[in-house]
Chains A and B, each alone.
Chain A
Amino acid sequence: MTEVPTGTARGVAVRLNKIQRAFGELVVIDDLTLDIAAGEFLAILGPSGCGKSTLLRIIAGLNAPDGGTLRVNPADTKFQTAFVFQDAHLLPWRTVLENAALPLELMGVGRSERLARASRVLAEVGLREAEGRYPSQLSGGMRMRVSLARALVTEPRLLLLDEPFAALDEITRFRLDIRLRDLWLERGMTVIFVTHSITEAAFLADRAVVLTRRGRGIRLDRRLALPRVRSNELRLSPLLAGEMQMLLSAMEEEG
């Protein structure tokens, strides 16, 4: 169904079937069905309160759905899912290197191996020089890159991101968008990226889904006709503008 980005299919497929979730009286997700192919880069867009963050937490297993089923295929590997939050949420008493190594530490990987792996992934996000620093000594963009490195250190097959770059300045965001897209191309994991930014969704993803208010289904499910390798030139191209227009109209119908 979907092209697999690299030679090796590392990503997992996610199948959501009639998912329901309410907080007390408030129904946040109602009867949502969505298929995400292995190795896909999916952006989930929607107005505030459409349940997109809740949906991501359900996929991560942090919240259970009230109804419906979630299937991840293949499901056998432990700790294959990584989650990046809206803010970096680092441990302030640990160095950058120790923060990036944290997931491996919790999974019981030995010290020298986990530090070596953390060091490698920090280099991938351009933080080799900052390994020994503490989070309070970093800029917001650097902190978010540590957070990204921490998510990638376990070599996840499913990467979930909840508006991760929303608090950053535009230049930093542009840079991280491209970095994330490249990491996805290199690693071939499945990525689900939740955002309220139409620009970011269109620029990053291969497929964008616009949710309706209160999660009553999907307004638009579109495969974006954009090149695989994304660069800043694309930001000003009519190709991207066209895709953004499609997403914008779907969002406006919702607003």
Chain B
Amino acid sequence: MKLRKVIPALIPFLVVTLALEWLVRAGWIKAFLVPPPSAVFQTMVHDWPELFGALAKTSTGALLGFALSAAGGIAIAVFLSSSRAIQDAFYPYAVFFQTVPVIAIAPLLVIWFGYGMRTVVASAFLVSIFPVIANTLTGILSTDPALRDLFRLYGASSAATLWKLRFPAALPQILTGLRIAGGLAVIGAIVGEFIGGQGLGSVVDIARTQQRTDKVFAAVLLASALGLALFGFINLLSWLALRRWHASEQS
């Protein structure tokens, strides 16, 4: 069953890869602009120790940033949901925050956090927190009013209402927010690494100056693989949390 879902997605990949290989070998595309897939594969094998080390760094940065925005985003959304006034006072800033392009403030991050991991984590965190806040807040605020009445009728404290009603009711939206945040955290980590000087971002940056497009492609593929793995991990979490009760995880 699983295989039948994977095969259709593999066919375009194979067709494009083979076509690209042929187009480059036939001289239609210059190899220094787009390397043939076989060369990318060779680079991947040859430079594996370096690439793997970079991947490990990028993964660490992206995962730390993602974990911070998941925890921070949910906490901020819970805080915002506590009253209409608090929401009116702070939510506009969360939106404003979202519109600041991370690439523009990345140099500032280096000034604040120095070269290395802390800048990467900060960058991944900054780009990925907003979808967590927005989705969690929407989820918490759209809790069934009748159920809120029910909790009130039995004298539930606001902590109990949050923990036993609002939070679980918001879980599907929270997981949607996390799914978006996962992809963004990888992007944020790479951006941070362009400036912060480590990981796959740094490999891309250096290979670019050396005209090593094969290496750029190899690094980009690994970054995508990281994004996919994170996406898959969140889908697994979602399945574990929702499979028993939510329509999105029931077929």
Contact = CB atoms under 8 A, between A and B. Distances in A.
Interface of A: 60-62, 78-79, 81-83, 85, 87, 89, 91-94, 102-103, 105-107, 134-136, 154
Contact of B246 (A92, A103, A154): A92
Contact of A106 (B149, B160, B169): B160
A220 B181 CA distance: 61
A62 B153 contact: yes
Interface string B128-160: 000000000000000010110111111110001
Nearest to B157: A106
Contacts of A102: 150, 154, 164
Contacts of B246: 92-93
Interface residues of B, number: 22
Contacts of B153: 60-62, 79, 81-83
Given A62-B149, A89-B146, A106-B160, A136 B245 contact: yes
B108 to A, nearest CB: 42
B165 A91 contact: yes
A89 B148 CA distance: 10
A82 B155 CA distance: 12
A205 to B, nearest CB: 23
Given A62-B153, A91-B147, A91-B169, 14 more contacts: A62-B149, A81-B153, A85-B146, A87-B146, A89-B146, A91-B164, A91-B168, A93-B168, A102-B150, A106-B155, A107-B154, A135-B245, A136-B245, A136-B250
B2 interface: no
- Chain A CB within 10 A, most for which of B150, B164, B247: B150
Contacts of A60: 153
B214 to A, nearest CB: 49
B244 A107 contact: no
Nearest to A104: B154
Nearest to B246: A92
Given A89-B144, A93-B168, A79 B245 contact: no
Interface string B70-102: 000000000000000000000000000000000
Q: DSSP majority for the A interface?
A: loop
B149 A83 contact: yes
B149 A136 contact: no
B143 to A, nearest CB: 11
Given A83-B150, A89-B144, A91-B168, A78 B244 contact: no
B167 to A, nearest CB: 10
Contacts of A106: 151, 154-156, 160, 164
A105 B150 CA distance: 12
B144 A93 contact: no
The 7 A-B residue pairs with the shortest CB-CB distance in the complex, in nearest-first order = A106-B154, A92-B245, A89-B146, A106-B156, A93-B245, A85-B146, A103-B154
Contacts of A135: 245
B234 to A, nearest CB: 18
Given A92-B245, A134-B244, A62 B152 contact: yes
B168 A89 contact: no
Nearest to A78: B155
A106 B159 CA distance: 11
A10 to B, nearest CB: 19
Contact of A107 (B144, B152, B155, B247): B155
A79 B168 contact: no
- Chain A CB within 10 A, most for which of B156, B160, B245: B245
A220 to B, nearest CB: 30
A89 B144 CA distance: 8
